[in-house]
A and B are shown apart, each in its own frame.
Chain A
Amino acid sequence: MISVYYFGAIALILIGLYAILVKKNLLKILIGLSIMETGVNLLLISIGYVSGKSAPILSEGIGPSQAVDPIPQALVLTAIVIGVATTAMALSVAILIYEKYGTLNVEEIRRLRG
């Protein structure tokens, strides 16, 4: 039986993918990309979770054997930052496209190029 956390992550990935495949507005596609990214991050974090253990911050009462795996969390930290960077790049390309074509509809942009 699949866990509810994995199910939520897969649902987020699929919602994002649906937006990328179907939507025609460039900004909606970018939002879909962000939702998909969130799903992937949630999946990684939930794979690293160990039930009954606390966050990997060692303090009184939380020794090395009572903490969850720190590596997925560190990797997701990296992934979030890279995601912000790529989203910023994509948004500035969208600004340029809107100035050039006056529209954000991907089909019209394709048609205008001939």
Chain B
Amino acid sequence: MLKRALAIITLLIIGYWLAQGLAGVPFGEDKMLVGQYYLDNVKQQTGAVNAVTAVVVNYRGFDTLGEVTVLFIASTGVGALLWRRKKERTAKTEGSIVLTTGTRLLFPFVMLFGAYIFIHGHLTPGGGFPGGATIATAFLLLYLAFITYEIPHRGFEVTEGLAGMSYVAVGLIGLAIGGYFLFDWIWQTWQFGWDNVGRLLSGGFIPIIYTIIGIKVGTELSGIIDNMLKEEVSE
């Protein structure tokens, strides 16, 4: 009881302090310093209509490479923590007929929707990370419906590694052509899609990088799901 009271007092102090700090920050007013530059130049410099993905992939592409690395390390860490010599799925209840039939019907469409999200990253909200998460939910659906289902591990691990390497490869091609890492060579040097900004075939290397990220995130999150659902079985 004393602990709870102490916690509430601490929370009140922290809340008052946060509210004091934020009272000086007006809501809904223009506070842009560098954001306006991005908004003004995003179409000419990157070819993307969606400024958020342009910031994530183009202006801060190196940061996103680090983010992908963090996700990769987390997925490897989950695998290392839950590693057992002999692991199997121990689920006992088969999915109901609604779940299995629905999964059979919906699986290709969920995959298609994930692919749509990451291919259209430069035009609509979304991108590689939400698209990859959507693809991982398709595999989660399979895991829920069929008790003996397992993802093809070898293929997924190879795909994951190749996707990570091709992100670096795209960056290195930029280094060779334009002089710095992750230079947008498709847009700046080739000027591909210069006259149809706002359509699918534009946006420089943003769709390519987001496809790579989508594949990588999808396989990684599916691997995390797979690791967490399996348990050790004794012979």
Which residues of A come within 8 Å of B, CB atoms? 1-3, 5-7, 10, 13-14, 17-18, 21-22, 43, 46-52, 55-59, 64-65, 67, 69-71, 73-74, 77-78, 80-82, 84-86, 88-89, 91-93, 95-96
Contacts and interface: CB of A to CB of B under 8 A. Distances in A.
A96 B80 CA distance: 11
Interface in B92-141: 123-125, 127, 129, 133
A81 B11 contact: no
Interface of B: 3-4, 7-8, 10-11, 14-15, 18-19, 22-23, 25-32, 34-36, 38-40, 42-43, 49-52, 54-56, 60, 63-64, 67, 70-71, 73-75, 77-78, 81-82, 123-125, 127, 129, 133, 198, 217, 221, 224, 227-228
B228 A57 contact: no
Given A3-B27, A14-B15, A48-B31, 11 more contacts: A5-B27, A14-B14, A21-B10, A56-B52, A69-B32, A74-B56, A78-B56, A88-B74, A89-B78, A92-B78, A96-B82
B30 A64 contact: no
A75 to B, nearest CB: 9
A2 B74 contact: no
A10 B22 contact: yes
A2 B23 contact: yes
Contacts of A65: 39
A42 B57 CA distance: 22
Contacts of B227: 92
A2 B27 CA distance: 8
B82 A73 contact: no
Given A14-B15, A58-B49, A89 B28 contact: no
A89 B77 contact: yes
Contact of A14 (B11, B40, B43): B11
10 contacts: A6-B25, A17-B11, A18-B11, A47-B31, A50-B29, A51-B29, A69-B32, A70-B35, A74-B55, A81-B70
